[in-house]
Amino acid sequence: MAKVCQITGRRRMIGNNVSHSKRRTKRDFALNLKTKRFWSEEEQRFITLKVTAKGMRIIKKNGLDKTVSEAQKKGFVNLV
């Protein structure tokens, strides 16, 4: 499965390592991605999401159910 945050939709970025001699080689900037279980009061069950640290802060600020419904509208997450 791809390394994509299911809340924010962020993906890894591609860039360059630049040495002292200015020689460039490709590298990727990975996300701070974690697989985490959240308790949904609305559904009375755990929901497992792959989220970044920023996504966890958004869930903490806005609430799980509201955040997941917005992510579903944007197409980042599809829960059964």
61 is a domain residue = yes
- 3 state DSSP class of 25: strand
As a residue count, the chain comes to: 80
Which pLDDT score, from 0 to 100, does residue 45 have?
95
Q: Which domain holds residue 40?
A: 13-74
Which pLDDT score, from 0 to 100, does residue 79 have?
79
Tokens representing 11 are 């993906």
CB distance 60 to 38 below 8 Å? no
Amino acid identity of 37?
Answer: R
Give the count of domains, the chain.
1
* Domain CATH number, residue 61: 2.30.170.40
Mean pLDDT, 10 residues at a time, the chain of 80 residues: 90 97 97 96 94 97 95 88
Helix (H) or strand (E) holding 13: strand 13-18
68 is a domain residue = yes
pTM above 0.85, yes or no: no
- 3 state DSSP class of 66: helix
80 is a domain residue = no
Which pLDDT score, from 0 to 100, does residue 80 have?
67
Tokens representing 77 are 């997450």
